[in-house]
Amino acid sequence: MMHELMASDTQPMPEHVRRHQLSRMAVALNEMMTAPKPSNDAWRILSDAINLLETLVQCGEAPVKDAATGKVVASHWRGCDGSPIEVADTSGLLADAIAAMAKAGERALDGLPLRLDGSGIAAVRAVLEDYQSTLEALPARTMIRCHRATEKRIRAIYNLIDPLPDGVHVMAI
């Protein structure tokens, strides 16, 4: 919590921190696409980014709901100047990216390499682009708050393990 309080609420994460985070995501995606046996770490890095964007889309202020489905498709967070910034799944592929990562994890459980299929690669790439835009627009304090909120959200899902709702797959604890 102290880390969050000490972070700037008027500046994005420092450039070297953003660059490090984004380069790790790019390397992880490349590994998932090309390595003979992608590592669990590559899967975790991508899953973290996807989970962070999901938190940003669903858990901000003034959520925006899709009129047809009633699902939250965007929410607002305070930008560096204090004005609200809408964070949305601009590509509409966030759910597809989540499903692609689950499918890759299921492949690993079946003894196959962690792999993304073509549509999964496109979905994950789109989500990473959305996350990059958000990382550059929101203050450091907001991003740290998002990390904490994501950890709480994932822990809440883990607490449902016995039994899990349909469609929810826990890949690792």
Check residue 172 and give its pLDDT: 57
Q: Which of 135, 151, 125, 149 minimizes the C-alpha distance to 46?
A: 125
Domain ranges of the chain: 2-153
Secondary structure class of 65 (helix, strand, coil)? strand
Q: What is the pLDDT of residues 65-99, one digit of tens each?
A: 989 988 889 999 999 999 999 999 999 999 999 99
Check residue 7 and give its pLDDT: 59
Check residue 17 and give its pLDDT: 92
User: Is omega for the bond preceding 163 within 30 degrees of 0, making it cis?
Assistant: yes
Check residue 3 and give its pLDDT: 66
Name the β-bridge partners of 76. Answer: 61, 86
Q: Which of 13, 12, 41 minimizes the C-alpha distance to 27?
A: 41
Check residue 71 and give its pLDDT: 87
Cβ 75 vs Cβ 57: under 8 Å: yes
Secondary structure class of 58 (helix, strand, coil)? helix
Q: Which residues of the chain have pLDDT under 50?
A: none
Check residue 154 and give its pLDDT: 87
